[in-house]
Amino acid sequence: MSKQVLISEAIKAIGGYSATARLISQKTQKPITYQAVQSWERYGNIPSKYVLLVAQESGISEHLLSPEVFGNKKARLVS
């Protein structure tokens, strides 16, 4: 599965673009727009400062969402 597809699945698991943007904005106290989240999916890249939060909330490993930052370990779900 490609990284872009995994990012799309993570966003869907959280509840979509707007829900992901709201969640990250609330947890980080930094405004994130749904357009920013759409661009993550389109370009296949979540900014590294948000990867752990997206992984935790979606259940998709940070190693799969951002292997260039977190290494390419075996696939696992985050509990």
Distance between CA atoms of 16 and 24, rounded to whole angstroms? Answer: 12
Instruction: List the chain domain ranges.
Output: 3-70
* DSSP structure string for the chain: --HHHHHHHHHHHHTSHHHHHHHHHHHHSS---HHHHHHHHHHT---HHHHHHHHHHH-B-HHHH-HHHH--PPP-B--
Regarding pTM above 0.85, the answer is yes
Distance between CA atoms of 3 and 10, rounded to whole angstroms? Answer: 10
Banded pLDDT at 7 (limits 50, 70, 90): very high
Region 61-77: what's the mean pLDDT? 79
pLDDT digits (tens, 9 = 90+) for 23-46: 999 999 999 999 999 999 999 999
Region 46-53: what's the mean pLDDT? 96
Banded pLDDT at 54 (limits 50, 70, 90): very high
